[in-house]
């Protein structure tokens, strides 16, 4: 589907009464919450964005001038609710097939989530999608504009959720491994959670890695393999630490657990890397992208080399020698010159990394691990 047919309505007309501060202009890093929300849609190549203002609307418009947005004001913002501002925004949407509906304080929804929601609209029977995380509904909503009248005719009872409740099979709720879906800044405590989230959002935690594995339906045998790769990688990392090289174990952990999330699909390394990049995990994505074959080997082992080597020393869920791992591959591709050439090259890379660790450590027995 063509994303030129999609627009976004961002609702920023409320009083921020529970927050006590004006939510849209709360600072997060070098920008504000609403600017991050806007840029998240622009990253998806959605340039037609309508912002519904109300309280401190003039100030908001002045701040957002450079984004070339369309502004419409809820003049009765003191006596109305978010649903009313949503309706005001929807009435301004012209010449669009779809529209995302988002509050101003929903800045960290993954690109993966937005793209997947859009792809789901290939099903012509679906007119509204709402994402959820761990059973909690969140934002943004994605509406097929031909269904907008059904939203506009709703009497406002229970807001958007009340309108959704009437939709029946026209509505689909999709669960994602995306905590950004439920992040907002309704209260100071929520804002503090956003600040904490920013500090850790570039790499998924262990629990989030498990949710990502579940989302992509990783088979148990692949999980077992990934767990063993992680165990070996942690041992290698500890060995390097004793030699004066400190690596990011959180990055290593996530890369090991997620390196095979696309296993079974064509070009699984690149496919998995693309998913992870869209989820915002850039560094993990780069490691996953090269876990089959490295573009180059660093002078001293980095997280990328450790994950690569650990993967090349695990067969199924057993730690083996490099020779044992690759002899099986060499036998498998004995009659295929190009494939065999690639196997031998990857074996050479694994040996080079292994030897660099030996040179740093002194002596490291590749078979002396818990099998």
Please count the helices (runs of H) and the strands (runs of E) in the chain.
15, 12
> Is the model's pLDDT at 359 over the cut of 90?
no
52 & 137 share domain: yes
What is the per-residue DSSP string for 232-267?
HHHHHHHHHHHTT----HHHHHHHHHHTTTTTTSTT
* Domain edge (last residue) among 200, 229, 263: 200
Distance, CA of 160 to CA of 175 (rounded, Å): 18
The pLDDT value given to residue 4: 65
The pLDDT value given to residue 367: 47
Residue 132 has φ and ψ, to the nearest 5°, of -140, 160
180 & 302 share domain: no
195 & 221 share domain: no
- Asked, for residue 289, whether it belongs to a domain, the answer is yes
Burial class (CB in 10 A: 0-12, 13-18, 19+), 183: buried
> What residues make up the domain containing 138?
3-200
CATH code: domain of residue 18: 3.90.550.10
CATH code: domain of residue 336: 1.10.3210
The pLDDT value given to residue 371: 46
- Asked, for residue 340, whether it belongs to a domain, the answer is yes
52 DSSP β-pair partners: 11, 72
48 & 195 share domain: yes
Residue 97 has φ and ψ, to the nearest 5°, of -90, -30
- Asked, for residue 367, whether it belongs to a domain, the answer is no
21 & 167 share domain: yes
Q: With pLDDT > 90 as the criterion, what percentage of the chain qualifies?
A: 79
CA-nearest of 233, 360, 241 to 305 is 233
- Asked, for residue 26, whether it belongs to a domain, the answer is yes
Distance, CA of 114 to CA of 290 (rounded, Å): 26
**Mean pLDDT value across residues 125-140:** 96
344 & 235 share domain: yes
- Asked, for residue 46, whether it belongs to a domain, the answer is yes
Residue 33's CB: how many other CB atoms inside 10 A?
25
* Domain edge (last residue) among 176, 200, 224: 200
152 & 289 share domain: no
Averaged pLDDT score across all residues of the chain:
93
pTM over 0.85: yes
Distance, CA of 157 to CA of 12 (rounded, Å): 20
133 & 253 share domain: no
Q: Which residue has the tokens 């030699």?
A: 243
Contact by Cβ (8 Å): 281, 201? no
69 & 194 share domain: yes
**Mean pLDDT value across residues 122-148:** 96
- Asked, for residue 366, whether it belongs to a domain, the answer is no
* Domain edge (last residue) among 200, 218, 233: 200
* Domains of the chain: total: 2
The pLDDT value given to residue 363: 47
Burial class (CB in 10 A: 0-12, 13-18, 19+), 335: exposed
57 & 157 share domain: yes
Tell me the per-residue pLDDT of 174-221, one tens digit each, with 9 for 90 and over: 999 999 999 999 899 999 999 999 988 999 999 999 999 999 999 999
Burial class (CB in 10 A: 0-12, 13-18, 19+), 350: buried
**Mean pLDDT value across residues 107-123:** 96
Task: Please report how many Cα atoms fall inside a 13 Å half-sphere around the Cα of residue 58, on the Cβ side.
Answer: 0
- Asked, for residue 335, whether it belongs to a domain, the answer is yes
Please report which confidence band the pLDDT of residue 118 belongs to, taking 50, 70 and 90 as the band edges.
very high
> Is the model's pLDDT at 364 over the cut of 50?
no
The DSSP code for 139 is S
- Asked, for residue 371, whether it belongs to a domain, the answer is no
95 & 16 share domain: yes
190 & 213 share domain: no
Please report which confidence band the pLDDT of residue 327 belongs to, taking 50, 70 and 90 as the band edges.
very high
């Amino acid at each position: 589907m063509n994303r030129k047919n999609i627009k976004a309505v961002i609702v920023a007309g409320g009083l921020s009464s529970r927050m006590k501060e004006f939510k849209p202009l709360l600072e997060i890093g070098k920008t504000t919450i609403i600017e991050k929300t806007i840029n998240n849609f622009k990253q998806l190549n959605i340039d037609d964005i309508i912002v519904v203002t109300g309280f401190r609307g003039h100030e908001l418009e002045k701040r957002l001038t450079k984004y070339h947005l369309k502004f419409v004001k809820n003049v009765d913002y003191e006596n109305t609710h978010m649903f009313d501002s949503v309706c005001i925004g929807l009435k301004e949407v012209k010449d669009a097939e779809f529209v995302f509906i988002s509050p101003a304080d929903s800045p960290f929804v993954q690109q993966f989530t937005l793209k997947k929601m859009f792809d789901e609209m290939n099903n012509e029977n679906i007119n509204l999608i709402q994402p959820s995380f761990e059973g909690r509904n969140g934002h943004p909503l994605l509406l097929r504009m031909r269904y907008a009248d059904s939203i506009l005719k709703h009497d406002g009872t229970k807001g958007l959720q009340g309108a959704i409740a009437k939709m029946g099979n026209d509505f689909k709720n999709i669960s994602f491994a995306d905590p950004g879906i439920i992040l907002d800044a309704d209260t100071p405590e929520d804002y503090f959670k956003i600040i904490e989230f920013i500090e850790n959002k570039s790499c998924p935690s262990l629990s989030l890695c498990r949710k990502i594995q579940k989302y992509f339906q990783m088979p148990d045998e692949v999980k077992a393999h990934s767990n063993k790769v992680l165990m070996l990688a942690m041992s290698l990392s500890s060995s390097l630490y004793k030699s004066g090289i400190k690596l990011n174990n959180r990055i290593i952990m996530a890369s090991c657990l997620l390196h095979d999330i696309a296993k079974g699909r064509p070009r699984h390394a690149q496919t998995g890397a693309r998913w992870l990049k869209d989820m915002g995990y850039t560094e993990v994505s780069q490691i996953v992208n090269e876990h089959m074959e490295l573009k180059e080997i660093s002078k001293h082992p980095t997280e990328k080399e450790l994950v690569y080597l650990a993967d090349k020393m695990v067969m199924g869920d057993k730690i083996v020698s490099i020779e044992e791992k690759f002899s099986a591959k060499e036998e498998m591709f004995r009659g295929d010159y190009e494939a065999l050439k690639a196997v031998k090259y990857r074996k050479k890379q694994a040996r080079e990394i292994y030897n660099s660790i030996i040179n740093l450590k002194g002596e490291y027995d590749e078979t002396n691990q818990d099998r």
